[in-house]
Structure 1
Amino acid sequence: MLMYADGFGIRPVLREMARELAGHGYYVLVPNFFYRHGPAPVIELPEHIGEEVRPAVMAQLMPLIEAHTAERVLRDADAYLRFLTTQPEVGAGPVAVTGYCIGGLLAMRTAAAHPGQVAAVAAFHGPVGADGPDLFSKLTAQVHLGHAEGDMTPEALGELNQALDAAGVSYTSEIYPGTVHGFTVSDTDAFSASGLQRHWDRLLPLLDRTLANS
């Protein structure tokens, strides 16, 4: 499994989520996709990223996010998948990709660029429609999209799902009730325990369907 962090990058909460997946038998790679700017964490992060510090943190991170072009994303994804699939502990067969916030878009781009290799992709509170329907048309993976209620109106969800239908994608796409952007990560004010649990309830069966028998 390839797991893309949110814009805050690799930190204890992401390691905890990766360990949870590893506990279900998956080999999980969590890359520092800001590696061009230094080791993770690339900026100093507080233990809890509350609303009072979030603007200052985002001001430091946005130039890094903007510098992470689609070309860089795809070049890096090639390297991540090549590394992941050549580890001696990793079984033969397809991989899954998951991502959070901006990592959700990176996960979708990775899945679209590697249709023969990525069997499942899941994105949570991510801007998954940013690249438009052209990206969806390249997907062969099974897809789950978990949207924050604060990010997505029912009307916007309907339009997104229509685009997925038109592209012939096998997917589930839903708004998680009572959630705001960033609901999966417990070190921010956005965290929702019920949202995180719903995320596991959707992600683990997707992985079981697509990877368990590989």
Structure 2
Amino acid sequence: MTPSITTRDVTVASHDGKSFGAYLAVPASGHGPGLVLCQEIFGVNGFMRRAAQLLAEEGYVVLVPDLFWRQQPGIQLTDGPADMPRAFELYKGFDVELGLRDIASAIAALRELPEHCGGVGVLGYCLGGKLAYLAACRTEVDVAVGYYGVGIEDSLDEAAGLRGRLVLHIAEQDGFCPPAARQRILEALGGKPGVELYVYPGMDHAFARTGGDHYDKPSAMMAHQRSMAALQRAIGPEFDYSYLWDKHCEYEFGTRDVAATMATMVAEPYVNHIPTMTGGVGHKELSRFYQHHFVNSNPPDTRLVPLSRTVGATQIVDELLFCFTHTTEIDWMLPGVPPTGKYVEIPLVAIVKFRGDKLYHEHIYWDQASVLVQVGLLDPKGLPAAGRETAAKLLDETLPSNTLMARWKDSEGK
């Protein structure tokens, strides 16, 4: 059985001789760099716990301190209208100075955990976004990430104490950070060494809170990518994504071992072949897809020819040629099309996302028109489509360009 993350409740000693609770998520490896996750105004609720679990999948030992414990321990509210008045009441009664002392205590406790190794960072949302910024100014953390922090513009004088790396994600339409406040932040912090400021156009507060009214998946994905890049650069962990992806492909196309293929992925992965919308979401459906419609269904002579690879903070982008003879029905690429016996070469791009040392998802792109031309299902005459020529020109850029443009000759000499 593939190891999974573990979670537990722990107790943190405060600076004033008391103690408070915290939620701990530990990676499957059992160790990793530390990350203190600072709550929104709803306490250590389901969203914060799930966020901690996902960050643990990325390889971090994540500690989520209960920052409302001095008012009422164990607060777990939602962002629904019934809980909102209580959430704002707790926010207004929150003592920022004591909260920062509690974060410092949480950092110290995290460093002492046997699972912790390496550096420590702080990441926070909303109230926690401001606290992450202030922690970067006042504590010995290596990196801090703040999502739509509320009130940062009132603490810009603290920036003189900045140490380590700081990333702030700012929502352009955030009602809690109006344009004048946003501008003050950008002017005061922009250009400082180690500081990254990102404004998300059209986004409102809490655009990264899954399930919330203002959740925006594209912006949340982009913010996460930037956060992970900063965290990995400052405190790690480092993973050999090239090796992990190559092993996954070996199991898919070499040994054709479905169980081994799935073992390279997170517990609930997904695959999306964009042109044909084939693949699967979740372990059950993706296993079914791999077993019955992919791994054992590719033609025997299938080849992947790598052309380039870009390795990022959480993903790989592969450019390659996908080559095969259409001797079997290929459900995922040519569903319902009987074998034609035609040889096919197409450029293909794979964008592969990781969580820690496991694949999270694959987005696969290719030119379906080129495939259809090459197997004889699409006559390219009079259409802006080409066949095997697209693969040939990818390998030899000196081959003629603009052959599909009837008006190309009209611009000669102009």
Contact 2:121 2:144 in 1 (8 A): yes
SS in 1 for 2:214: coil
- 1:159 deviation in Å? 3.1
* Aligned residue number for residue 141 of structure 1: 164
Ranges in structure 2 where 5+ consecutive residues have no aligned partner: 1-34, 239-414
1:213 deviation in Å?
Answer: 6.6
CA distance in 2 between counterparts of 1:3 and 1:63 reads 22
- Kept in 2: contact 1:140–1:169 (CA 8 A): no
Look up the equivalent residue of 2:86 and give its one-letter code: Q
1:78 alignment partner in structure 2 = 104
Q: Does the aligned pair in 2 maintain the 1:157–1:174 contact within 8 Å?
A: no
1:39 is matched with: 74
Q: Which residue of 1 aligns with 2:87?
A: 61
Partner of 1:90: 116
CA distance in 2, matches of 1:66, 1:15: 23
**Which amino acid in structure 2 is aligned with residue 178 of structure 1?**
G
* TM-score (ref. length: structure 2): 0.45
- Is the radius of gyration larger for structure 1 or structure 2? 2
Give the alignment partner of residue 22 of structure 1, picking from 45, 53, 56. 56
Amino acid at match of 1:181: H
Aligned residues: 201
Amino acid at match of 1:18: A
Which digits, 9 at most, give the CA deviation of each residue in 1:69-92, with x for residues without a partner?
Answer: 122122212211111110001004
Amino acid at match of 2:85: A
Rate the CA distance shift 1:169–1:39 in 2: closer, same or farther, 3 A.
same
Q: Distance in 2 between matches of 1:159 and 1:125?
A: 14
**Aligned CA-pair RMSD:** 2.2
Letter in 2 for 1:134: D
The answer (yes or no) to whether the contact 2:121–2:141 under 8 Å persists in 1 is yes
Alignment-derived partner of residue 123 in structure 1: 146
Shift in Å, 1:155 = 6.2
In structure 1, the partner of 2:380 is: none
What is the rounded CA distance, in whole Å, between the counterparts of 1:12 and 1:63 in structure 2? 20
Counterparts of 1:158-197 in structure 2, within 5 Å, are 158-165=183-190, 168-197=192-221
Tell me the secondary structure at the aligned position of residue 68 of structure 1. coil
User: When you count helix as a share of all residues, which structure comes out higher?
Assistant: 1
- Aligned CA distance change for structure 1 residues 111 and 61 (closer, same or farther; 3 Å): same
Aligned-residue offset at 1:138: 0.8
Larger strand percent: 2
Residue by residue over 1:35-91, the C-alpha shift from the partner in whole angstroms, topping out at 9 and shown as x without a partner, is 1212131x5x4xxx35xx1xx423212222122212212221221111111000100
TM-score (norm 1): 0.85
Report what 2:40 is aligned to. Answer: 6
Q: Equivalent residue for 2:359?
A: none
For structure 1, the 5+ residue unaligned runs are none
Q: CA deviation at 1:118?
A: 0.8
The CA deviation at 1:156 is 4.9
Partner Cα distance (1:213, 1:16) in 2 = 20
Percent identical residues: 28
